[in-house]
Amino acid sequence: MNNKKIAVVGAGATGTVLAAALLSGNCHIVLVGTRDGWEKVLKQEGLHVAGAVSFRAPVACYSSRMGFLKDFEPDMVFLATKTFHLPQVIRELKAVVSPGTAIIATQNGLGPEDMVAENFGAARTFRMSLNFGARFISPGQAEVTFFNRPNHIGGLLPASHKPGLEIAGFLTACGLDTLAVEDIKLYVWQKMIMKCTMASICAVTDRTIKGALGFLPTRMIAESCFKEAMAVAKAMGYDLGQGYREQALGYLEKVGEHKDSMCRDIANRTPTEIDFLGGKIVEYGRMKGIPTPFFATMTNLVKALEDSYSKTRKGLSK
């Protein structure tokens, strides 16, 4: 796969880690960001990832414009933007990529791969569930705070499993251990129930995961959210079993010193990804007739915090 041309869209923490790993594997890539001023810095300093994994890689090609990909003609595109940027990214991407380009959604949350598939087709769409936490430091620099190997990747159709295996093998060779799976949505649910539950609790209380789980009132909220999310997952066709909640809480306690990225979003007064996290649990629950009062409350609290600094008020969950 070294002869493949790859684009990484998004130059934040996740995009930096993915691009640095791919470049370390001598892959021909272009990194697409949004800041014109970053090109000089990235080409001078390259990419530097430290922490649970480490990479140093030069950047030969960076662009702040999606239109650059029309001439680059990538074989695959890794989407590493925040989920609230997806609609705009998809609109711009549709105008520049060829019909054979594979699109790989790496975002947090539930449903980004469905949005991609609606626009590019299920046969071209892949979803990657990342099992590492990354923190953006500065242009081209990121820290991986933990990596519970492996990541998981999969397509939305059975025929996509073979190319998924190839992508997983290449990522593993680059230092990002990745396993191709036949039902990626199962792995997404297994991870995202944890993310959906803890992100809003941590953001509203400004606590680490360990701090939220170690304080009885917020732990009680988390346990109630887990129950709601598991009921919604089951209604969506993914019964995670009776032992999942205890297993998930044990997993979270191991990475407990990590602050969820939504805490930084609130602290920096930037948009959050709540619509693809707690908001999706509420949306799916409503669709399936499953009550989600705890998730609706936590989702609306995050939206209220966003509304306190945002000029655009988002609709509330009910």
Q: Per the domain annotation, does 314 fall within a domain?
A: no
Give the end of a domain, one of 182, 199, 227.
182
- 252 and 282 assigned to the same domain: yes
Same domain, 215 and 167: no
By residue range, what is the domain housing residue 84? 5-182
171 lies in the same domain as 202: no
The rounded distance, in Å, linking the Cα atoms of 8 and 64 is 12
Same domain as 98, residue 218: no
pTM of the model: 0.92
Domain count, the chain: 2
Residue 15 and residue 231: Cα distance in Å, rounded?
Answer: 33
Which of residues 118, 149, 182 is at a domain's end? 182
155 and 234 inside one domain: no
At residue 316, the pLDDT reads: 47
Identify the three-state secondary structure at position 88. Answer: helix
Digitized pLDDT (tens) for each residue of the chain, 318 residues in all: 567 899 999 999 999 999 999 998 877 899 999 888 898 999 999 999 999 999 999 999 999 999 999 999 999 999 999 999 999 999 999 999 999 999 999 999 999 999 999 999 999 999 999 999 899 999 999 999 889 899 999 999 999 999 999 999 999 999 999 999 999 999 999 999 999 999 999 999 999 999 999 999 999 999 999 999 999 999 999 999 989 988 898 888 776 677 888 999 999 999 999 999 999 999 999 999 999 999 999 999 999 999 999 864 444 444
Instruction: Please indicate, yes or no, whether residues 78 and 165 belong to a single structural domain of this protein.
Output: yes
Q: Are both 170 and 290 inside the same structural domain?
A: no
Q: Which residues are CB-contacts of 194 (< 8 A; sequence separation ≥ 6)?
A: 248, 251, 252
Answer yes or no: do 55 and 177 share one domain: yes
> What CATH code is carried by the domain that includes residue 144?
3.40.50.720
Mark whether 99 and 221 lie in a shared domain. Answer: no
With respect to residue 313, please indicate whether it lies within any of the assigned structural domains.
no
pLDDT of residue 317: 47
